[in-house]
């Protein structure tokens, strides 16, 4: 696990070691154990390493035998032992015991198609000296991040945005399509970032860069929902159990201790129960809770820990919210609207006191149809029986009602069809609200971009409605939100998170489960839950989904009120010209009077704080990370 960075100057101008080192220094949290740099004519590669596999010999960048191919790599290749055996049989010579070295030898044999042989989570860059070619690659589901930018004859890349800003190659300005997407869906798009000119390599893609040619991006993997109507329900259950066991076993590969996050929900509990069964050492599990009972799941986590016999650590927290908000701005790397980043940050801090690697339950809802919104959409599909002219009339009535009027959003929602209705349910600010929220100039910029087009493309693809919704969530919500949050918040504390439920073989199998066995009679994850009977207590399997939420609405009315008010209505926010401050003041007052607008206010706050930290200073050197001592200050825990 590492943070990687690099520069390729096609003009042949030199890349200096201090440039790469400066980029890597901004990611020390991603790799506090080691660093490494390779510089040659017009090219520099660098990394910060968190040592997990091949502790003594895995220093990067790593070359092939004749040093004509070099790699920097972030992630883990779980099948590296098998790959190594095959590569050595074909005559390749290894110098290290790390999984990273497999990449250069696979590249020698398969070129950019090396990704087809990898099982794991990864983002990498390979420089081929002979071909003068850079290959970038990212894992199938988007677990590990990779940003890049092209400017004035050079290409720069890194695991985070901060090193690209440090490189000085770009003028820092907002990407308005990403602003609109963020205010609509809580996160920036899969292919763009909040900074104009900085892009993300999307999941399941490779990119080949050669001088004088456009960057060639290819998609090498995509999940296909093709129901298996020949296998019986029991056969599918048995195959699912086998794949779950195998995936957890592969995700245990490490030369350091492994623990697990345990929320008490079905997904993390399934991973923990499977891990405990396989691992001879007692498994450490980690949970956090809050004083407010509606946000606290600790009792369920403790029940599971007692049932499976894990060494459980948990903590009831009331964090210093203002300080955490400032820290999150640095580590999230982009503005981010999902408030579950806060508990993820806190549980990662707790885990960091005990382990370097945690297994998580991330991906279970997308893969096995676990979200309540699937049940909602199943019910709301009855709206389609209402004649469309009547629904459109209801939508017009709703649009004419004043903001905050009971039923306004429902009437507008009723007017929509299928895919647009499903998407509408997850929107933060709709178009009319964006017009009031943004200044006239900012709204003009945002409205020039159709930032919902990609989402509609995912949903309008001819599959059954549940498969379409899951396909959207796997390709959009999962990488943009869930995996971004987990990567940034665990890496903030130098902890590696591994999601066994996102092993691509397990995902491919889950896509063959017929829709009626994913969502059945009002039960989400029907087949997955059936596979867990006997492994987990029934009350854990059958309890209502809670989610990883925080009492942010209360915090904004109390601890964060003065801070949020001062930041959002500040002179610097007014000068920035993005938000209509009178409308923000209206939202603050509505929230203070009892209407929960915490997600809206948090998202706006994240944008303003990010702009202050990364856009307002002309010199990148003023960007200072939170104190490592503060980040790793010990927490009290119960076990």
Q: Is 611 a catalytic residue?
A: no
Distance CA 368, CA 390 (A): 35
Nearest to 167 by CA among 175, 157, 178, 153: 157
Decide if 260 contacts 309 (C-beta within 8 A): no
What is the rounded (10 degree) CA torsion for 198, 201, 202, 208? 140
Decide if 506 contacts 370 (C-beta within 8 A): no
Distance CA 339, CA 552 (A): 8
Give first-to-last CA distance, the chain, whole Å.
Answer: 28
Distance CA 361, CA 267 (A): 5
DSSP characters over 279-302: -SSPPEEEEEEESSGGG--HHHHH
Strands of 318-456, DSSP E:
357-359
Distance CA 129, CA 300 (A): 55
Task: Give φ, ψ of 358 to 5 degrees.
Answer: -130, 140
| Angle, alpha carbons 610-613-615 (nearest 5°) | 80
How is the chain split among helix, strand and coil, in percent rounded to 5?
Answer: 45, 15, 35
Length in residues, the chain:
639
Q: Residues with Cβ < 8 Å from 616, sequence gap 6 or more?
A: 572
Q: Which residues pair with 35 in a beta bridge?
A: 48
- The pair of structure tokens assigned to 633 is 């200050």
Decide if 4 contacts 72 (C-beta within 8 A): yes
Decide if 43 contacts 127 (C-beta within 8 A): yes
Task: Give whole-number Cα distances, 419 to 58, 190, 409, 425, 468, in Å.
Answer: 47, 19, 17, 10, 8
Q: Which residues pair with 69 in a beta bridge?
A: 128
Which DSSP symbol is given to 452? T
* Per-residue three-class SS string for 620-635: HHHCCCCCHHHHCCCC
- The pair of structure tokens assigned to 453 is 């087009």
Catalytic residue (choose from 2, 24, 102, 611)? 2
Cβ density class 292-313: b for 16+ within 10 Å, e for less: eeebbbbebbbbbbebbebebb
Q: Residues with Cβ < 8 Å from 542, sequence gap 6 or more?
A: 529
- The pair of structure tokens assigned to 533 is 């009977």
Give catalytic residues, as residue numbers.
2
């Amino acid at each position: 696990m590492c943070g990687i960075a690099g520069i390729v100057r096609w003009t042949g101008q030199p890349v200096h070691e201090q440039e790469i080192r400066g980029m890597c220094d901004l990611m020390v949290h991603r790799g506090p154990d080691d660093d490494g740099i390779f510089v040659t004519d017009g090219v520099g590669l660098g990394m910060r390493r968190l040592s997990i596999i091949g502790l003594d010999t895995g220093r990067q960048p790593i070359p092939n035998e004749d040093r004509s191919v070099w790699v920097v790599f972030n992630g883990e290749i779980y099948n590296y032992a098998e790959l190594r055996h095959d590569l050595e049989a074909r005559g390749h010579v290894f110098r290290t015991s790390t999984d990273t070295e497999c990449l250069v030898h696979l590249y020698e044999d398969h070129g950019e198609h090396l990704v087809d042989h990898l099982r794991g989570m990864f983002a990498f860059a390979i420089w081929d000296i002979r071909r003068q070619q850079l290959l970038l690659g990212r894992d199938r589901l988007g677990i590990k991040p990779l940003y890049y930018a092209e400017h004035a004859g050079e290409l720069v890349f890194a695991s985070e945005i901060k090193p690209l800003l440090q490189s000085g190659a770009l003028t820092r300005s907002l990407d308005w399509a990403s602003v609109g997407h963020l205010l609509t869906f809580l996160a920036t798009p899969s292919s763009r970032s909040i900074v104009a000119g900085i892009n993300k390599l999307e999941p399941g893609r490779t990119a080949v860069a050669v001088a004088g040619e456009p960057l060639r991006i290819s998609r090498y993997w995509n999940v296909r929902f093709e129901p298996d109507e020949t296998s019986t329900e029991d056969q599918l259950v048995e195959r699912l159990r086998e794949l779950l066991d195998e995936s957890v076993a592969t995700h245990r590969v490490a030369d350091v201790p492994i623990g697990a996050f345990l929320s008490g929900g079905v997904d993390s509990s399934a991973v923990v129960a499977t891990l405990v069964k396989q691992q001879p050492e007692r498994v450490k599990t980690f949970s956090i809770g809050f004083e407010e009972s509606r946000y606290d799941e600790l009792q369920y986590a403790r029940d599971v820990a007692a049932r499976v016999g894990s060494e459980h650590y948990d903590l009831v927290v009331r964090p210093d919210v203002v300080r955490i908000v400032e820290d999150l701005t640095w580590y999230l790397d982009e503005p981010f609207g999902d408030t579950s980043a806060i508990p993820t940050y806190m549980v990662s801090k707790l885990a960091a006191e005990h382990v370097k690697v945690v297994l998580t339950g991330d991906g279970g809802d997308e893969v096995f149809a676990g979200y309540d919104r699937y049940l909602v959409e199943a019910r709301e599909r009855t709206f389609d029986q209402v004649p469309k002219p009547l629904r459109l009339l209801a939508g017009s009535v709703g649009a004419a009602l004043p903001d905050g009027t009971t039923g306004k959003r429902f009437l507008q929602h009723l007017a929509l069809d299928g895919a647009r209705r499903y998407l509408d349910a997850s929107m933060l600010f709709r178009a009319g609200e964006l017009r009031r929220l943004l200044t006239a100039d900012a709204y003009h910029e945002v409205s020039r971009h159709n930032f919902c087009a990609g989402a509609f493309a995912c949903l309008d693809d001819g599959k059954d409605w549940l498969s379409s919704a899951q396909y959207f969530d796997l390709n959009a919500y999962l990488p943009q939100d869930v995996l971004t949050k987990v990567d940034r918040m665990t890496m903030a504390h130098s902890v590696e998170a591994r999601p066994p439920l996102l092993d691509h073989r397990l995902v491919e199998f889950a896509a063959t489960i017929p829709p009626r066995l994913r969502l059945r009679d009002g039960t989400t994850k029907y087949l997955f839950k059936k596979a867990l009977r006997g492994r987990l207590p029934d009350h854990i399997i059958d309890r209502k989904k809670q989610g990883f939420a925080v009492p942010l609405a209360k915090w904004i009315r109390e601890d964060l009120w003065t801070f949020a008010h001062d930041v959002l209505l500040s002179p610097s926010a007014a000068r920035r010209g993005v938000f209509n401050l009178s409308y923000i003041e209206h939202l603050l007052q509505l929230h203070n009077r009892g209407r929960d607008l915490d997600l809206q206010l948090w998202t706006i706050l994240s944008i303003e704080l990010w702009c202050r930290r990364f856009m307002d200073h002309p010199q990148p050197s003023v960007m200072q990370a939170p104190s490592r001592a503060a980040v790793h200050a010990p927490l009290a825990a119960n076990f």
